[in-house]
Amino acid sequence: MKVLVTGGTSGLGLAMASALAATGATVALTGRSGERAESVAAGLPEAIGIEMDVRDESSVAGAVDEAWTRLGGIDMLVNNAGIGMRTVNPRFMTEPQGFWEVAPDAFRAVIDTNLTGYFLVAREITPRMLASGGGRIVNISMNHSTMRRAGFVPYGPSRAGSEALSRIMAADLRHTGVTVNMLLPGGATVTGMLPEDITGEGHGFLSPEVMGPPIAWLASDEAAGVHDERIVAAEFEEWLRDRESRQ
């Protein structure tokens, strides 16, 4: 399995890249800094690091081409690169701002990364997957409560948009051999998106490693043909048992 993980240098992306590499998958992970991507990739078996700014079409095109060439194709795309509320309001957990207080440039930056970025990367890689006979796309999402929480503009709308995008991608690609699924942690995770003073308390937050088992399963033979599912990582074992009982 050859996998491209966007935003793979830290947080959920790194946890997923690590889990995939541990299963024997060959992973290309991306970050805005090519140097950092290469440094992080060096810590994973057989992984490579590639510079990619998901907001920029030419950067996306170049990075996908490089990953496809160096890996010898891509079987799975994990659309994960994103930025959170810290970039808009560093105190968003304790002092939420009304949407009317959000700067337009900050709004655009989050939408461009979290929503348009998913579109641009999937748009670039899907024709290649179709031409090669198939592939898998996993879009990382968040809880529905996060999408409508007070003080969460523009992060909430960006993730709601990416979820709608995922559903439409799945509809467009049904019966093509390219599958599309969503994966979300199931709660706030200890990543750089949360304020340091909040995560330092360590209460009630998930570890990024919660994403490991479900992303490894989605890359497995068992998941071939699984399409248009919304999988909550914290509830993965229960979801898998329910799925198996229905078969």
Q: What angle do CA 69, 75, 78 make, to 5 degrees?
A: 100
Q: Are strands 48-51 and 76-79 parallel, antiparallel or unpaired?
A: unpaired
**DSSP H or E run through 147:** helix 144-147
Is 185 within 8 Å of 12 (Cβ atoms)?
Answer: yes
155 given a catalytic annotation: yes
The dihedral built from the CA positions of residue 90, 94, 95 and 96, taken in this order, carries a sign that is positive
Euclidean distance between the first and the last CA atom of the chain, given in angstroms as a whole number: 25
Q: How many residues does the chain have?
A: 247
Q: Where does residue 202 rank: exposed (0-12), middle (13-18), buried (19+ CB within 10 A)? A: exposed
For 28, 45, 48, the CA distances from 23, given in Å and listed in that order, are 14, 10, 16
d(C-alpha 129, C-alpha 137), whole Å: 10
d(C-alpha 175, C-alpha 131), whole Å: 14
- In the set 155, 158, 231, 236, the catalytic residue is 155
* Token representation of residue 106: 């900050």
* Token representation of residue 89: 């309001």
Q: Which residues are catalytic?
A: 155
